[in-house]
């Protein structure tokens, strides 16, 4: 069933059933390109959450006992369905989140490949036999940790939930996932692929609700064995503290403020093109988005000119329009944040070379913005912008650039441009980040781990490390009795 706007009617998924929840309370779903309500999302009651937890507890007993080959087959079927439905899922995502349809569809297709990777990696979650005393068999086994409580934001409505779901299910865990109330139908259509693939009832449960109430309830439950969160640093610290109070393991993928160091030997035009493309992808609403551009003083003029050209060449509009290259911000909160950060920078002496304002049209649009002469005390250089703002700074010495890059408490992603192997090794060694890309600004890939250091969190998603948080390492010492 769909609404008049072509948006699916949203339901939660608990114990293998699509349901509205017991409260009858809903919240509006808004299309950020038009500011129109396009649907409603049901909000869970404590009783709904308890039912989801009970289902996950029973689902875990079933799923962990399912042979890995059978689990893998179900997950590959789900991946096939995600790939087949990528365009339809992408359209729902664009309606709810705003990004261009090509980005949404591409995200769904990448999600299918991520699921395949994690499903196959479950076959390689090896233990080991340790040489020991005669008559003793000493082994290490890796087993699923148990039911997972997962919380994800709205910026990647398909890929975000799937990173938690695919890792948990591949490891043999069940889960209750609270997806964003701003992009609920996208998460629902993702979960539908798992359900249609034959996933046993209770293994995967999808809920929505008031974030603080839902997180407190799920984390405190004795059923939950792992808390997996992607989101802002302040919220991550709160959830990690709540998990710590009840001795729950947690996986925290938090925000950043990614520096880009353009070294003196780099090509400034190529660096600017690649950096601008990454900066304005998803309207800058990416936790690994490049957000502080440190350019050698000999290159800054050429770099800045090309960056401005790239920003002004973008077509900003409704994500469903074919020519749109950058959609709206996802909500009014982000729009106000862009206005505040820009105004603060300008008040402190920064210059806006392009953008810097909201276009005169409906929707949460903000023009791609490039700023120079941004003073050190501007909020923009300390607060993750999470939007299409690009402050460009010059430096004279690489020591100075590295000190600036590492000065903040964040450490998620960083980028560098250089032709020198020696300089590349120095950047690799000294930049304080869990993710580093050199001579490009590529995003996360399922083959390799992603995660932060310092305030940007702990634990890794992607690569062989993706299952680590979802597995318990158990030592077994077996004394043979004749």
Q: What radius of gyration do the chain's Cα atoms show?
A: 23
Q: Considering the entire predicted model, what is its pTM?
A: 0.95
State yes or no: pLDDT of 70 exceeds 70.
yes
- pLDDT by residue (tens digit) across 386-441? 999 999 999 999 999 999 999 999 999 999 999 999 999 999 999 999 999 999 99
- Fill in the DSSP letter of residue 66: S
Domain extents in the chain: 12-254+456-475, 258-447
Q: Determine which one of 181, 189, 253, 306 is catalytic.
A: 253
State yes or no: pLDDT of 10 exceeds 60.
yes
Which two structure tokens, joined as six digits, stand for 444?
């996360």
- CATH assignment, 258-447: 3.40.309.10
Residue 253 appears among annotated catalytic residues:
yes
- pLDDT by residue (tens digit) across 279-315? 999 999 999 999 999 999 999 999 999 999 999 999 9
CB 261 within 8 A of CB 416: yes
Q: Determine which one of 173, 193, 263, 287 is catalytic.
A: 287
d(CA 470, CA 479): 29
Question: Would you state the pLDDT for residue 151?
Answer: 98
Contacts of 228 (CB under 8 A, 6+ apart): 148, 149, 150, 151, 164, 167, 168, 175, 250, 251, 469
| Per-residue CA distances from 251 to 148, 231, 371, 383 (Å) | 10, 11, 35, 23
Averaged pLDDT for residues 100-122: 97
Give the count of beta carbons closer than 10 Å to the beta carbon of residue 475. 10
Kindly report the average pLDDT of the chain as a whole number. 97
State yes or no: pLDDT of 5 exceeds 70.
no
State yes or no: pLDDT of 100 exceeds 70.
yes
d(CA 153, CA 236): 12
- CATH assignment, 12-254+456-475: 3.40.605.10
Averaged pLDDT for residues 225-248: 97
Reported confidence tier of residue 129, pLDDT bands at 50, 70, 90: very high
User: How many helices and strands in the chain, by DSSP H and E?
Assistant: 13, 20
- pLDDT by residue (tens digit) across 181-229? 999 999 999 999 999 999 999 999 999 999 999 999 999 999 999 999 9
- pLDDT by residue (tens digit) across 308-322? 999 999 999 999 999
State yes or no: pLDDT of 3 exceeds 70.
no
State yes or no: pLDDT of 338 exceeds 60.
yes
Which two structure tokens, joined as six digits, stand for 161?
């939930």
Measured at the alpha carbon of residue 368, what is the angle toward residues 365 and 372, in degrees to the nearest 5? Answer: 135
């Amino acid at each position: 069933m769909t609404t008049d706007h072509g948006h699916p009617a949203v339901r939660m998924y608990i114990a293998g059933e699509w349901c509205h929840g017991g409260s009858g309370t809903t919240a509006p779903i808004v299309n950020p390109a038009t500011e129109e309500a396009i649907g409603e999302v049901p909000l869970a009651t404590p009783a709904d959450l308890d039912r989801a937890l009970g289902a996950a507890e029973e689902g875990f007993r079933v799923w962990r006992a399912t042979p890995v080959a059978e689990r893998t087959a179900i997950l590959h079927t789900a991946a096939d369905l995600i790939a087949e439905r990528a365009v339809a899922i992408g359209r729902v995502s664009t309606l709810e989140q705003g990004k261009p349809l090509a980005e949404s569809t591409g995200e769904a297709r990448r999600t299918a490949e991520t699921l395949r990777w994690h499903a196959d990696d479950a076959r390689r979650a090896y233990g080991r036999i340790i040489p020991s005393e005669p008559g003793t068999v000493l082994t290490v086994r890796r087993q699923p940790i148990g039911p997972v409580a997962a919380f994800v934001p709205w910026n990647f409505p398909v890929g975000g939930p799937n990173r938690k779901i695919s890792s948990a299910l591949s490891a043999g865990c069940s889960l209750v996932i609270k997806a964003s109330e701003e992009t609920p139908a996208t998460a629902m259509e993702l979960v539908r692929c798992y359900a249609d693939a034959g996933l046993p009832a209770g293994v995967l449960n999808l809920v929505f609700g008031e974030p603080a109430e839902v997180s407190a309830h799920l984390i405190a439950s004795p059923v939950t064995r792992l808390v997996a969160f992607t989101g802002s640093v302040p919220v991550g610290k709160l959830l990690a503290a709540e998990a710590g109070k009840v001795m729950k393991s947690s996986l925290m993928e938090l925000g950043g403020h990614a520096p880009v160091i353009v070294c003196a030997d780099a090509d400034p035009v190529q660096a600017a093109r690649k950096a601008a493309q990454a900066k304005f992808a998803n309207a800058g609403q990416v936790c690994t988005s490049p957000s502080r551009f440190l350019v050698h003083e000999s290159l800054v003029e050429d770099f800045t000119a090309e960056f401005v050209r790239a920003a002004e060449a973008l077509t900003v509009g409704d994500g469903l329009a074919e020519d749109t290259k950058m959609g709206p911000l996802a909500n009014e909160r982000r729009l106000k944040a862009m206005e505040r950060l820009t105004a603060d920078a300008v008040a402190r002496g920064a210059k806006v070379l392009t953008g810097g304002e909201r276009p005169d049209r409906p929707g949460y649009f903000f023009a791609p913005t490039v700023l120079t002469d941004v003073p050190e005390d501007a909020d923009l250089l300390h607060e993750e912008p999470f939007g299409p703002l690009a402050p460009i700074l010059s430096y004279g010495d690489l020591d100075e650039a590295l000190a600036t890059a590492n000065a903040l408490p964040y450490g998620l992603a960083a980028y560098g441009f250089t032709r020198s192997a020696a300089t590349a090794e120095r950047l690799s060694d000294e930049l304080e980040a869990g993710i580093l890309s050199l001579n490009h600004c590529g995003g996360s890939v399922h083959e390799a781990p992603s995660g932060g250091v310092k305030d940007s969190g702990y634990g890794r998603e992607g690569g062989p490390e993706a299952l680590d948080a979802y597995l318990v390492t158990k030592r077994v010492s077996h004394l043979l009795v004749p």
